[in-house]
């Protein structure tokens, strides 16, 4: 297959842990051709979607690329969108262009209209049976009422990633006003508030769902001492662990809906028994799960599972 990955700048990727590179290495080992682009390499000429792409090869030094050539996205067996958030206007425009490309025959993963329609924070509201109590608003008075009701809450922007700008608030916090003013930009930016879940101390579990089916292991991201965020980018420690019965219930139920929506690779965030986020842009955690399970009786290589599923799709 010819596979095109739309990525952040290659020099910004951490080769020892990057999920995109893990998927690409697995694909290369199977003999597939790899190409890379960045977000703004995608464009329209008239009504035809085009993209400038470079051939990518793994080397002893790490990798090499050739000069960019203009293609139509349908020239590739799969176009894999793996640019990180924030989901800003430029990301939004990219989903429109990718949707046009898909209508012109390109196979795009994840479905660009689904990426646009499944906000990573708000999408949990589609599954209220699995979520903690939450509030979505820009109104600081409503957030204060929610805090008074639940005593201990977490507030977070709707477009963040890696644990950025997430705050835990208690009733006696002396910084309530400045935190709410900052995160809502004085009542002009909509945010999500959720009841604080003490189970975060046992880890914020990342469950990877591929083509509707969850992997048997999650990556529990355990906060460092004194921290309430488990995100690896915020200093958390990732520990691979088998899914619990509740994890499996959440992931299989949600996975069926994700597959129907065309969301091929998704990362669910589960704290304790509750679904807190649905990551549809560039979910991570594959490298850590593969490394920590490689010596077990039943190892789990997420990148291999991903490529198995992609090869099945290509054969359809």
Q: Is 29 a catalytic residue?
A: no
Among 54, 229, 247, 288, the one annotated catalytic: 229
| Closest of 200, 199, 212 to residue 166, by C-alpha | 200
Annotated active-site residue 121? The verdict is yes
User: Of how many residues is the chain composed?
Assistant: 316
Catalytic annotation present for 229 = yes
Q: Which of 54, 107, 195, 221 is catalytic?
A: 221
> Which of 82, 277, 288, 301 is the catalytic position?
277
- Annotated catalytic residue 195: no
| Secondary element (H or E) of residue 310 | helix 302-315
Q: What angle do CA 191, 194, 195 make, to 5 degrees?
A: 155
DSSP letter assigned to residue 194: E
Catalytic site residue from 121, 195, 204, 211: 121
Helix axes 140-150, 176-183, angle to 10 degrees: 130
Task: Report how far residue 231's alpha carbon sits from residue 298's, in angstroms, rounded to the nearest whole number.
Answer: 26
| Apex 185 CA angle, 181 and 187, nearest 5 | 75
Identify the active-site residue in 54, 82, 83, 206.
206
| 156 carries an active-site annotation | yes
> Annotated catalytic residue: which of 211, 247, 269, 288?
269
Choosing from 111, 140, 279, 301, the catalytic residue is 279
Residues 86 and 73: their CA atoms lie apart, in Å, by 24
Q: Is residue 277 among the annotated active site residues?
A: yes
Contacts for 39 with CB less than 8 Å, ≥ 6 apart: 6, 83, 90, 91, 94
- DSSP classification of residue 133: P
Burial 142-152 (b: 16+ CB within 10 A, else e): ebbebbeebee
Residues catalogued as catalytic: 121, 156, 206, 221, 229, 269, 277, 279
């Amino acid at each position: 297959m010819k596979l095109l990955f739309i990525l952040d700048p290659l020099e910004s990727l951490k080769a020892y842990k990057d999920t995109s590179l893990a998927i690409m290495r697995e694909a290369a080992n199977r003999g597939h051709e790899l190409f890379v682009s960045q977000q703004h390499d995608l464009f329209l000429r008239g009504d035809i979607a085009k993209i400038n792409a470079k051939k990518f090869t793994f080397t002893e030094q790490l990798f090499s690329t050739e000069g960019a050539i203009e293609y139509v996205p349908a020239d590739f067996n799969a176009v894999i969108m793996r640019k990180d958030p924030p989901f800003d206007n430029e990301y939004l425009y990219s989903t429109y262009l990718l949707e046009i490309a898909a209508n012109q025959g390109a196979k795009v993963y994840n479905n660009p209209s689904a990426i646009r329609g499944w906000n990573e924070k708000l999408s949990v509201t589609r599954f209220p049976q699995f979520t903690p109590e939450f509030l979505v608003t820009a109104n600081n008075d409503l957030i204060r009422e929610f805090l008074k009701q639940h005593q201990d809450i977490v507030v977070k922007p709707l477009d963040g990633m890696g644990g950025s700008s997430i705050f835990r608030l208690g009733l006696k916090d002396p910084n309530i006003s400045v935190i709410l003013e900052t995160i809502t930009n004085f009542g002009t930016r909509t945010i999500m508030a959720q009841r604080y879940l003490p189970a975060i101390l046992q880890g914020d579990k990342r469950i990877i769902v591929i083509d509707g089916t969850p992997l048997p292991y999650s990556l529990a991201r355990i906060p460092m001492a004194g921290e309430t965020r488990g995100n690896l980018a915020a200093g958390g420690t990732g520990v691979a662990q088998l899914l619990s019965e509740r994890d499996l219930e959440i992931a299989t139920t949600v996975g069926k809906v994700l597959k129907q929506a065309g969301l091929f690779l998704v990362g669910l965030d589960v704290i304790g028994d509750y679904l807190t986020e649905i990551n549809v842009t560039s979910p991570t955690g594959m490298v850590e799960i593969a490394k920590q399970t490689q010596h077990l009786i039943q190892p789990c290589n997420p990148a291999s599972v991903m490529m198995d599923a992609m090869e099945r799709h290509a054969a359809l």
